[in-house]
């Protein structure tokens, strides 16, 4: 049952993304999505509040990161704790081709870009709260979330473009790249 | 004439902020704002598209930063060029008490928080584009904008809380704080 439902959700996501690309996000209805997926509207609303949430409905990243931050070894620094949690990102991401198509649909629609932003900021606020619960002061937690989000974005970008390195290594490289930029003196080297 | 108009705009902003605080953002109308400011609706719409834009209407930061990034000395690094431009931030900010009240109104309203986010991200994208025009590659420009935005946020926060240090010094301190967090090893010191 759970497995069938998982398939239904995946079929709805696939159908929605195909329709958004073929005829635009605005021109696509829930009925069209369910027809393409050969499922009922009732099945659609079991998973998603509306067609927008097909692109944003999963909270997998949050569910992946927060327990890992909580379980990080005591005494681990704020950013290292985040990067430890981020290392399992590829386990919860959708396949690359799906994510690239999703990114193209979102980039083409200002309201979807706004929704994506809100989602990222909401996640970032939860990361800050998780670090504060570990005993970090709010300023350190905020800076670590800012830096961590930038590092995660760059590592994910490289992963999406096909870099199959271990994700921990992608995070470590992105962190070094950020440090290079952040530490650069008044003149370019 | 220009001076009177400036006063009109300021009076509308002041009246709107007072009403938002007294009776909430949702419950306040443009008519109420103009009545409180003792001005006409026509005057209101000369400055603002709607009541929301009273809080977001100024593009002063962008107008302040972009020419300064463009005019930064050749060969200056990406982040140093941003920080040079950010140094003049207090010249264009509204008075502290106004900004603190504005921040409280925005924090209380999810749609206003979203609008604020969009504004910040739009600014950040323009910073990236300005750095790319200076010859930086897109990745360096993006990382510098991420780091620069975090540094600017922390410096502005301290300034808002009453720190009257030179803003360049606030930026330099915030940058050091960020570097400390970004460079921290696997264990807390």
Structure tokens that stand for A20 in this block: 């958004």
Domain B8-53 belongs in CATH node 1.10.10.60: yes
How is residue A18 annotated by DSSP?
Answer: H
Shortest Cα distance, chain B CAs vs residue A142, angstroms: 9
Distance, CA of B40 to CA of B15 (rounded, Å):
13
Give me the DSSP letters along B157-184.
HHHHTT--S-HHHHHHHHHHHHHHHHH-
Shortest Cα distance, chain B CAs vs residue A173, angstroms: 13
Q: Which backbone phi and psi does B129 adopt, to 5 degrees? A: -60, -40
State whether A147 and B143 contact (CB < 8 Å): no
Per-residue pLDDT at B167: 96
Per-residue pLDDT at B119: 87
How is residue A187 annotated by DSSP?
Answer: B
For the segment A33-47, the average pLDDT, to the nearest whole number, is: 94
Query: Which residues of chain A lie closer than 8 angstroms to B75, CB-CB?
Result: 187-188
Q: What is the pLDDT of residues B10-49, one digit of tens each?
A: 899 999 999 999 999 999 999 999 999 999 999 999 999 9
Q: Do the two domains A8-53 and A56-183 of this chain adopt the same fold?
A: no
Residue B94 CB-density burial (10 A; 0-12 exposed, 13-18 middle, 19+ buried): middle
Q: How many CA atoms lie within 13 A of B127 on its CB side?
A: 31
CATH of A56-183, one of 1.10.357.10, 3.30.365.10, 3.40.50.300, 3.50.50.60: 1.10.357.10
The residues on A that touch B, with CB distances below 8 Å, are: 75-80, 114, 117-118, 121, 139-140, 142-144, 146-147, 149-150, 153-154, 175, 177-179, 181-188
- Tell me the H-state helices in B57-137: 60-71, 78-86, 89-92, 96-107, 110-133
Q: At what angle do helices B78-86 and B167-183 cross, to 10 degrees?
A: 140
Structure tokens that stand for A81 in this block: 């704790």
Binned at pLDDT 50, 70 and 90, residue A59 comes out as low
Binned at pLDDT 50, 70 and 90, residue A58 comes out as low
B45 C-beta neighbours (distance < 10 Å), count: 12
pTM: 0.87
Residue A2 above 80 pLDDT?
no
Query: Which residues of chain B lie closer than 8 angstroms to A140, CB-CB?
Result: 181
Domain residue spans in chain B?
A: 8-53, 56-183
Q: How many CA atoms lie within 13 A of B81 on its CB side?
A: 30
């Amino acid at each position: 049952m759970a497995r069938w439902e998982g398939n239904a959700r995946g079929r709805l996501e696939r159908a929605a993304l195909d329709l958004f690309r073929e005829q635009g996000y605005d021109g696509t209805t829930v009925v069209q999505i369910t027809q393409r997926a050969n499922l009922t509207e009732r099945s659609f609303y079991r998973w998603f509040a509306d067609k927008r949430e097909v692109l944003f409905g999963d909270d997998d990243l949050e569910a992946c990161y927060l327990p890992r931050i909580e379980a990080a070894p005591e005494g681990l620094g704020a950013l290292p704790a985040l990067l430890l949690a981020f290392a399992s990102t590829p386990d919860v991401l959708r396949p690359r081709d799906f994510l690239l198509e999703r990114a193209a649909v979102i980039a083409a629609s200002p309201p979807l870009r706004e929704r994506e932003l809100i989602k990222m900021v909401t996640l970032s606020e939860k990361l800050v709260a998780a670090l504060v619960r570990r005993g970090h002061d709010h300023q350190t937690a905020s800076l670590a979330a800012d830096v961590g989000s930038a590092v995660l974005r760059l590592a994910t970008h490289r992963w999406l473009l096909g870099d199959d390195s271990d994700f921990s290594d992608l995070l470590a490289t992105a962190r070094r790249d950020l440090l290079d930029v952040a530490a650069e003196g008044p003149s370019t080297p």
